[in-house]
A and B are shown apart, each in its own frame.
Chain A
Amino acid sequence: LTRRRVALFVVITLAALQAFAFARLNPDRLVPGTDSEQYDLMARQLAAGTGLTLDAQPPLEPTLFREPGYPLLVAAAYRIDGFNLEPIVDLQALMVGLAAGFTALIGTRLFGHVAGLSAAVLFGLNSEVSHYAHWLLTEVPFVFLLTAVIALALRAQADQRRADFLSCGIGLGLTALVRVIAAGLIIPIGLALAFTSPRRQRSPRLALLVVGFAVILAPWVVRNVVLFNAPTISGRFGVNLLRRSARAAEPLSAYPDWLVASAWMAANPVSNLVYPISRFQWGPDYEDNLIWDFHVNEMVSYMRRYEPVCQPQPDPDDCYASIGMAFVRAYPVGYVAQSFFALVTLLFAPLPGPQALEHNALVWLGLIAGVALLVRRRLRAPHVLVLLTVGAYLAASILVDTQQRYLMPLLPLFSVLAAVPIAHVLRSAAMRLSQTQGQPSGAATQSRIS
């Protein structure tokens, strides 16, 4: 037991140190043209006591465009240490380490200690994950909270303690305050916990989960009802939907290019060796590339068509949502067909390079291991909880919005699945090693690693 704890502590420390080292090597903190700048502005305004706004100068209008969790965290740091981003980055490096620890707990509960530790290594030492810690973005806090929630849910399922149900609900509420997509996960987690709770205790325990979730979200939702007459967590649904749904109206002649781009991305970076990305270039600029059209350009182009209509409206997101829904209603088949492409853009890294090799290999290994588990029916209640969570997250991302980095919150769970074959190989290797060294120690080795 002590060795396992030491091993886990080592992985957590290494993951945090690697993220910390990446942050020292990469001094940029705000990503130009992204939500990073908005988080900084919102946190500065919060720290100055002017409320949650996206306006830099008066009149300062309140906003619900972004969730409040991350700006509040950054604002707290600003209040403590001035407008210094380093404490936040250091905290995020620590969160990477802790998320690796939660990944180990999830993996251990599902597939045993070796798989759990392997999953923690796969996730915690992943360069993509470490890289995100140095930016002012929600990725790392979100993945930290999400892994904590799933670890808590698994513990609640196993031990049936009321405190775990309540904590899981509170954690899920906090996670939804960082990114609204987590709110939908109350359904798969609640369902999985409901089916595995004793019948008599089912209702009170689920009530604890829901109460914990609602208590955290209530102040923010009430504020949005009072200020905007909108009982929501964030006002980005319309923007996300329109980026995704306008493509449904495109004719069949557009599909061959998308299929080629999908196949290329799914096989990236191997595909880049056979057919370099430069061969998709159609213009002189960096963005003038078929892969980039498929991944980014078309979405931006659709948005810009409708900006003149929606941006001046009192509720731009409502305007975008009504247009997005109009596309869904007019082209339901096209919208469903587009979901396949949305899944590809969500799962696979689009640009060639070592990071694509690392990301896409992990995703493929996780997918293959997940399918193998389903086919071999080696699923118990904890596996169902995790797979339902993965399915719900993917479905929500695909139906509404898709960006490659949105898969990052699921990388711990893909790491857990990918760790199954790795753990199998490690066990086999350890067994062979112990057999070559002598039969008596073989049984002891097996018992230690299982």
Chain B
Amino acid sequence: VRAFLVALACLCVAGCAPRPSALQPPPLDTSPAAQWTYAAYLLGRGDPATARTYLEPIAAGSLNAISDPSLFLRDLAEARLFSGDSPGAVAAARQAADALARRPTTAQFRPDDRVVFEHTLEALAAAASDDATRLQQLTADANPAPVADAWYLLGWLQEQHGDAVTARTDYQHYLGLAPRSTFLREASSMRSHAQAMSL
């Protein structure tokens, strides 16, 4: 009986232990919407380089079939930035800002939502332009909501420049605001990275 109970306990422990999720296969559907969804999934897994291989072909064509061009272009800016294409990230962030300006304000996309979105885009553009001053300004602007991503990108920028001490402080600020004020697709990977750097 004891052996059975021990075996049962082992099974429960093994069954309840967190397992890393397997990579989903690419979609069979070749529509821009399906490809974008898969790219967003890859970004969420922290794989911006592969995500770009799905985003760039869509960006090269018309965005008419994309439900939310501003969000698509923000994803493109994010993927380009974290895969090393800073000029491309700046361009995508600007296009995203233009698309956002064309997006109508509605009862469910309110002025506050717009400002939060704009701040996220500005943070991406500032990081891609190596503009730490602008990022610091964004970290100080908590109206209508703080943008934790600006703190992360500031830390990321400091890390790129080899200043691990300042980067750690910025990452700690980021972790203080995440997950409720972080809006980029890679938020989960960003948190893991910030936690690892803050140790």
Interface residue B82 (Cβ < 8 Å from any Cβ of A): no
Interface residue B1 (Cβ < 8 Å from any Cβ of A): no
Instruction: Report the bound CA distance from A301 to B44 in whole Å.
Output: 21
List, in ascending order, chain B residues with CB within 8 A of A309's CB: 44, 179, 182-185, 187-188
- Interface residue tally on B, bucketed by range: 35 or more
Which of B25, B113, B182 is close to A304, meaning CB atoms less than 8 Å apart?
A: B113
List, in ascending order, chain B residues with CB within 8 A of A313's CB: 44, 188
Instruction: Report the bound CA distance from A312 to B28 in whole Å.
Output: 17
List, in ascending order, chain A residues with CB within 8 A of B106's CB: 285, 287-288
Top 5 A-B pairs ranked by shortest CB distance? A312-B44, A314-B21, A287-B107, A312-B41, A312-B40
Instruction: Report the bound CA distance from A424 to B114 in whole Å.
Output: 57
Check A323–B179 contact: CB distance below 8 A: yes
List, in ascending order, chain A residues with CB within 8 A of B16's CB: 225, 229, 231
Interface residue B61 (Cβ < 8 Å from any Cβ of A): no
Closest to A323 in B: B179
Which of B17, B37, B108, B187 is close to A300, meaning CB atoms less than 8 Å apart?
A: B108
B150 to nearest A CB, angstroms?
A: 16
Interface residue A396 (Cβ < 8 Å from any Cβ of B): no
Instruction: Report the bound CA distance from A313 to B186 in whole Å.
Output: 10
Check B116–A305 contact: CB distance below 8 A: yes
Which of B18, B44, B180 is close to A326, meaning CB atoms less than 8 Å apart?
A: B180
Interface residue B162 (Cβ < 8 Å from any Cβ of A): no
Check B180–A301 contact: CB distance below 8 A: no
Interface residues in A278-318 (C-beta closer than 8 Å to B): 283, 285, 287-289, 292-293, 297, 300-301, 304-306, 308-309, 311-315
List, in ascending order, chain A residues with CB within 8 A of B187's CB: 309
- Can you list 6 pairs linking A and B with CB atoms under 8 Å apart? A59-B25, A292-B107, A301-B110, A308-B71, A312-B37, A330-B180
Known: A229-B18, A229-B19, A323-B180. A304 touches B107 (CB 8 A): no
Binding site for A on B (CB under 8 A): 15-19, 21, 25, 28, 37, 40-41, 43-45, 71, 74-75, 106-110, 112-113, 116, 145, 178-180, 182-185, 187-188
Chain A, 397-441, contact with B by CB distance < 8 Å: what is the 0/1 string? 000000000000000000000000000000000000000000000
Among A283, A292, A301, find the residue whose CB has the most chain B CB atoms closer than 10 A.
A301
Instruction: Report the bound CA distance from A309 to B106 in whole Å.
Output: 21
List, in ascending order, chain A residues with CB within 8 A of B184's CB: 308-309
Closest to A326 in B: B180
Interface residue A249 (Cβ < 8 Å from any Cβ of B): yes
Beyond the given A59-B25, A309-B183, A314-B21, please list 13 additional residue pairs across the A-B interface where CB-CB is below 8 A: A229-B15, A229-B19, A288-B106, A301-B109, A304-B108, A304-B109, A305-B113, A308-B71, A309-B44, A311-B40, A312-B40, A323-B179, A323-B180
Instruction: Report the bound CA distance from A309 to B149 in whole Å.
Output: 12
Closest to A287 in B: B107
Interface residue A327 (Cβ < 8 Å from any Cβ of B): yes
Known: A304-B113, A312-B43, A327-B180. A319 touches B188 (CB 8 A): yes
Interface residues in A191-234 (C-beta closer than 8 Å to B): 225-226, 229, 231
Binding site for B on A (CB under 8 A): 58-59, 225-226, 229, 231, 246, 249, 283, 285, 287-289, 292-293, 297, 300-301, 304-306, 308-309, 311-315, 319, 322-323, 326-327, 330
Instruction: Report the bound CA distance from A311 to B185 in whole Å.
Output: 9
Closest to B71 in A: A308
Check A301–B113 contact: CB distance below 8 A: yes
Instruction: Report the bound CA distance from A322 to B75 in whole Å.
Output: 22
Which of A249, A287, A297 is close to B145, meaning CB atoms less than 8 Å apart?
A: A249
Instruction: Report the bound CA distance from A306 to B183 in whole Å.
Output: 6
Instruction: Report the bound CA distance from A284 to B71 in whole Å.
Output: 26
Known: A249-B145, A249-B180. A308 touches B40 (CB 8 A): yes
Instruction: Report the bound CA distance from A287 to B116 in whole Å.
Output: 22
Check B15–A283 contact: CB distance below 8 A: no
Among B25, B108, B113, find the residue whose CB has the most chain A CB atoms closer than 10 A.
B108
Instruction: Report the bound CA distance from A312 to B54 in whole Å.
Output: 15
Closest to B15 in A: A225
A400 to nearest B CB, angstroms?
A: 17
List, in ascending order, chain A residues with CB within 8 A of B182's CB: 309
A239 to nearest B CB, angstroms?
A: 15
Instruction: Report the bound CA distance from A363 to B196 in whole Å.
Output: 53
Check A288–B183 contact: CB distance below 8 A: no
List, in ascending order, chain A residues with CB within 8 A of B19's CB: 229
List, in ascending order, chain B residues with CB within 8 A of A322's CB: 179
List, in ascending order, chain A residues with CB within 8 A of B185's CB: 308-309, 312
List, in ascending order, chain B residues with CB within 8 A of A306's CB: 183
Check B183–A305 contact: CB distance below 8 A: yes
Among B37, B44, B183, find the residue whose CB has the most chain A CB atoms closer than 10 A.
B44
Check B44–A287 contact: CB distance below 8 A: no
Among B16, B28, B74, B107, find the residue whose CB has the most chain A CB atoms closer than 10 A.
B107
Closest to B75 in A: A308
A316 to nearest B CB, angstroms?
A: 9
